[in-house]
Amino acid sequence: MSDPSTYRDSTQIVLPIGALDDLEDELTEQFTVTVFEQGEVVRIIGSPVEIRDASDFLARHGIALP
pLDDT digits (tens, 9 = 90+) for 28-64: 999 999 999 999 999 999 999 999 999 999 999 999 8
Find the domain containing 10 and state its range. 4-60
User: Rounded to two decimals, what is the model's pTM?
Assistant: 0.84
Residue 66 in domain:
no
Question: Does residue 40 lie in a domain region?
Answer: yes
DSSP assignment of 1-57 equals ---HHHHHHHHEEEEETTTTTTTHHHHHHHS-EEEEEETTEEEEEE-HHHHHHHHHH
Say yes or no to pLDDT of 7 above 90.
no
For residue 20, tell me if it sits in a domain. yes
Predicted local distance difference test score (pLDDT) of residue 10: 76
Provide the 8-state DSSP code for 61: T
The number of folded domains in the chain is 1
Per-residue pLDDT band at 4 (split at 50, 70, 90): low
User: Is residue 41 in a domain?
Assistant: yes
